[in-house]
Chain A
Amino acid sequence: MTRQSPRARLAWTVGLSVVVVYAMVPVLWLMSLSLKSPDSVADKKVIPENISFENYEALFAGGLDSPLLRPLINSIVIALTATVIAVTLASFTAYAIARLDFPGKGLILAGALAIAMFPPISVVGPLFDMWRTLGLYDTYVGLIIPYLTFALPLAIYTLVAFFREIPWELEQAAQVDGATPWQAFRKIILPLAAPGVFTAAILVFIFAWNDFVFAITLTSSDSARTVPAALAFFTGESQFTAPVGAIAAAAVLVTIPIIIFVLIFQRRIVAGLTAGAVKG
């Protein structure tokens, strides 16, 4: 890094502070709301007068019948399953696309992109009907399948960029060393594409975790409803109280898994994103 003049330093500090404040204020506001008791929610104070964990307790009161616990489990299982399936399938697809010359290669890539471009809202109507007929309505599978429609293209595109970067010679060296194509893929290509696989996994997980449109349309009960959808069904203490505190608390909780994910894989993602960006 080159040494910056004091003025440049100041400009950077101010600029970055503005961005950080702009980004963090809503989050902090949400946290503040979640820590207020129902009667002080509307007091317009940034720092709660009495910090109470009442909202959080309420979310989990009643074990599996609590407002949040079941949806949280649903969310985790559905997002993780979609991620694992998408990344596994996508790594095979991307490998074939990056390495082999086969007819219809362009078609697959174009098709994947086209599918990813359909707005979910245009798909949910027909899906709702189909899923009810097929018995997939309000099930895990009923959400995982639509999630794959955007997760697969996303993962394929990310991974193709990574696989293309791995020199073909490495694989040929492995072949000459006596590896079967599967061994070469598993022992050489996959470890080298690990940053790409993680990047794809995290992106897919975040997208699946955040989905609202599919989740609200294709579920009707806690048996498959995910957290973003469940939030919409929160009720206040009485029918005349807005469940602001509970929603805020749930919103804070929902971000935690993603923060943990990102913190764990932060380095890999950064390495992955930049590597993919430069050469992909």
Chain B
Amino acid sequence: MAEIKLRDVTKRYADGTEAVKKMNLDIADGEFMILVGPSGCGKSTALRMIAGLEDISDGELSIGDKVVNNLSPRDRDIAMVFQNYALYPHMTVRENMGFALKLAKVAPEEIKKKVENASAILDLDDHLDRKPSNLSGGQRQRVAMGRAIVRDPQAFLMDEPLSNLDAKLRVQMRTEVSRLQKDLSTTTVYVTHDQTEAMTLGDRVAVMRSGVLQQVSTPRNLYNDPVNIFVAGFIGSPAMNFFSGKIADGKLTLPFAELPAPEGVEDVGDVIVGIRPEDFEDARFAPDGHADGMEFEAPIEVVESMGSEIYVHFSYEGGEVSSDELAELARDSGIAETPSGGEGRSVARLNPESEIVEGQKAKLWFDGAKLHLFNPADGTNLRQNKEEQAAAAAATEEAIEVEAEVDARADEEDPPARRRALDPPGAPE
């Protein structure tokens, strides 16, 4: 088991495109780190660089205390679970799981013992002598996990391991993976495009967009204090709603309401305001005595009842910034790449007892204290620039405290080694 450190790790292809740009990430020993982002954001490339399946164009990657840039996958002592499992079709489950040990020249009795231990954990006992083609999707997935755990490697790397399963099995396996990782407490890097998986599984989540790391934090922090409009829109389902707004004379103007500008925000003019669906409520069920609450009336377009909650899609009129402008801003700031991007409709999550009807106007309420304000120019979170950023940073700091120490030690010990590693091979000394 070991920590994994990425320092300015870059992946550049022959045609000059950069799939991963100067990625810095510290993954602590035993931590469950999720890389999440829309497709093409470089998360899989980053994982494959850690695995050694892709060359690192620039920067330094270390696993444990070793810089592994130039080590082949077999010398990195990591196990990987592939999206399509990559089970060896001509071997039985037992042989699949024992393959790595056999290559490592572990004694046959020892292999047998380890494979049987792993199969007991994964409930594969009855299938050890079957071929992968005779297994169900969920069983294959477990074999792939088993192949990783028998080796007791420094780290698990998982590339969308659950995306080929049906919805029900996915939820089940998600719990399984989480439990397994906690039991084994092996450093794990897990790539997914599914923000639900990211939120439920990870100790920390790293959100990526077009090769650039956006934010690394605990799921709760990402949700409550996204650093920019992209993270805000990507994390959460249904996604955060965005409105054009304006802050002037200490007042925040929304298309459907006007309220005092939140504390600590100056008169910055145009802003993008994000409100999470659950920060809306049917005015009838609005919490009493909530100082920052605000009511407004909006035409209801669609009502979706989920049983435990109701999703209401509403539209709104007016607003001083036209929606075209918002769309343009959204595109520039990357919100168009998030799931709700460009829909132009807003979603509210309401109390299931709400009697709001489709096609009518209804009174809605929203929590003015839970607004997210973003700079329309670059999409950054306006409030986080202030005091909350410090808080978020502190929280992140806490999570990586251990590795920071190791880091400091490593920095003192081997700066020359690092410089050497950064030199292109064959460069004159």
User: A residues touching B (Cβ–Cβ < 8 Å)?
Assistant: 167, 169-170, 172-180, 183, 187-188, 191-192
Contact = CB atoms under 8 A, between A and B. Distances in A.
Contacts of A192: 89-90
Nearest to B157: A176
Nearest to A177: B100
**Which 9 residue pairs across A and B have the least CB separation, nearest first?**
A177-B100, A169-B86, A173-B86, A175-B73, A178-B74, A178-B103, A176-B80, A176-B73, A191-B90
B316 interface: no
B79 interface: yes
B53 A188 contact: no
A19 B84 CA distance: 45
A175 B103 contact: no
Contacts of B157: 176
Contacts of A180: 74
A178 B147 CA distance: 12
Interface size class of B (residues with CB under 8 A): 20 to 34
6 contacts: A167-B84, A169-B83, A170-B88, A175-B53, A177-B103, A178-B104
Nearest to A192: B90
Contacts of B104: 178
B82 interface: yes
A192 B131 CA distance: 13
Nearest to A180: B74
A187 B73 CA distance: 17
Nearest to B51: A176
Contacts of B52: 175-176
Contact of A175 (B74, B87, B151): B74
A176 B78 contact: yes
A188 B88 contact: yes
A70 B319 CA distance: 98
B82 A179 contact: no
B72 interface: yes
A280 B84 CA distance: 21
For chain B, what secondary structure do more than half of its interface residues adopt (helix, strand, loop), or is it mixed?
loop
Nearest to A190: B90
A191 B131 CA distance: 14
Contacts of A187: 99
A177 B84 contact: no
Nearest to A175: B73
A100 to B, nearest CB: 14
B151 to A, nearest CB: 8
A178 B153 CA distance: 11
Contact of A170 (B78, B86, B151): B86
A183 B99 CA distance: 11
Contacts of A183: 103
A175 B90 contact: no
Contacts of A191: 90
B140 to A, nearest CB: 13
A266 B429 CA distance: 61
Given A177-B100, A192-B89, A172 B74 contact: no
B367 to A, nearest CB: 47
Contacts of B99: 174, 177, 187
A187 B95 CA distance: 12
Contacts of A169: 82-84, 86
Contacts of B80: 172-173, 176
Interface in B242-292: none
Contacts of A179: 74, 103
Contacts of B103: 177-179, 183
A174 B86 CA distance: 9
Q: Which of A175, A177, A179, A183 has the most CB of B within 10 A?
A: A177
A178 B88 CA distance: 14
Contacts of B53: 172, 175-176
B90 A172 contact: no
B74 A167 contact: no
Interface in B102-157: 103-104, 147, 151, 157
Contacts of B51: 172, 176
B86 A172 contact: yes
B147 A177 contact: yes
A187 B102 CA distance: 12
Contacts of B147: 173, 177
B54 to A, nearest CB: 10
